[in-house]
Amino acid sequence: MSLTAQILLWSIAFVALALNIAVTIRLATLHQYSSRQKLLQLLLVWAIPVADATIVWLITKDDERPQTPAKEREFYEGGWF
């Protein structure tokens, strides 16, 4: 991965973390919501990025394994089979 891509990914991660922290602090200081509402909202704020990251990791983890070449297909006059 290039240095530019790494910097971009780390920047996005930093912004996402900073936003989550800012929302957490904001929710903690609001008095309009009950403790239960605050807790549920905080769970959403923190669980969705974790769930998204887990899904992406599960999808991309197979890309790290070396790919075995597909069996070469035979060609005949009528096309591939």
Model confidence pLDDT, tens digit, residues 12-29: 989 989 999 999 999 999
Backbone angles phi, psi at 79, to 5 degrees: 130, -160
Nearest to 49 by CA among 70, 18, 76: 18
Q: Is the pLDDT of residue 70 over 70?
A: no
The rounded distance, in Å, linking the Cα atoms of 48 and 50 is 5
Residue 5's pLDDT is what? 87
CA atoms within 13 A on the CB side of 13: 8
The rounded distance, in Å, linking the Cα atoms of 71 and 61 is 23
Confidence at 61, pLDDT banded by 50, 70, 90: confident
Confidence at 38, pLDDT banded by 50, 70, 90: very high
